[in-house]
């Protein structure tokens, strides 16, 4: 932390232009006031979420997920909802929440039996907060669950990046939750 503060103190400003700095300062102050005004509403949301989670019949499942804790467990429960018949498959959940990868075919032939070239991409059109919830849970689970850590490390050993490996783990967790 001290090292970061020293770097900030040594940093050079991008501009000294008051026509840029002064409006930006007013904007930051405005946004800070707006955020401060939201704090009571956020506290009400947190309280309501805690109340609903405490009375939900499936809470024990989410409370006992390795690494979910008091923050992620309610988020995961709310993502899946109270109606288990809402979902036809784990793939449907993973696709909706942006955990499943998107395959795109280019239209060009790859040379292998006339197959089209395909690339795998990160899903952009999804509820970002819920995608992030599954992503964070996967990251937390590798500290508390041996198989989750092993799966993550296997993904990394295949050359996948940290976030790609976490999404692959989140996809596995979604399949487990769907089965439960």
Q: What is the pLDDT of residue 154?
A: 97
Residue 82: per-residue pLDDT: 85
* The predicted structure's pLDDT at residue 116: 59
End-to-end CA distance of the chain: 42
Residue 58 is classified by DSSP as T
- The pLDDT assigned to 111 comes to 55
* Whether 76 contacts 68, CB under 8 Å: yes
Low-confidence ranges of the chain (pLDDT < 70): 105-118, 120
| Token pair for 72 | 């992620």
The helix-helix angle for 69-80 and 128-144 (nearest 10°) equals 130
CA distance 50 to 138: 22
Residue 100: predicted pLDDT = 86
Beta bridge partners of 116: 109
> CA 133, CA 174: separation in Å to the nearest integer?
12
Q: Model confidence over 112-140: pLDDT tens digits?
A: 666 656 676 777 788 898 999 999 999 99
Could you give the CA distance from residue 118 to residue 104 in angstroms, rounded to a whole number?
5
Q: Nearest-CA neighbor of 90 among 145, 156, 5, 172?
A: 172
Q: Give me the pLDDT at residue 53, please.
A: 93
Dihedral angle sign, alpha carbons of residues 46, 51, 52, 57: positive
For position 166, what pLDDT does the model report? 96
pLDDT attached to residue 123: 76
């Amino acid at each position: 932390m001290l090292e970061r503060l020293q770097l900030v103190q040594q940093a050079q400003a991008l501009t000294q232009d008051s026509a840029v700095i002064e409006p930006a300062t007013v904007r930051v102050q405005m946004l800070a006031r707006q955020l401060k005004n939201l704090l009571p509403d956020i506290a009400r949301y947190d309280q309501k979420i805690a109340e609903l989670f405490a009375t939900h019949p499936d809470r024990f499942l989410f409370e006992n997920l390795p690494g979910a804790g008091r923050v992620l467990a309610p988020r995961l429960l709310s993502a899946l909802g109270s109606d288990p018949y809402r979902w036809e498959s784990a793939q449907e959940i993973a696709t909706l929440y942006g955990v499943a990868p998107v395959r795109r075919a280019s239209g060009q032939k790859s040379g292998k039996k006339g197959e089209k070239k395909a690339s795998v991409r990160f899903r952009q059109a999804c509820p970002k907060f819920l995608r992030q919830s599954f992503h964070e849970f996967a990251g937390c689970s590798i500290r508390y669950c041996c198989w989750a850590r092993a799966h993550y490390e296997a993904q990394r050993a295949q050359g996948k990046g940290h976030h790609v490996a976490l999404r692959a783990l989140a996809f596995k967790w979604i399949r487990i939750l769907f089965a439960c």
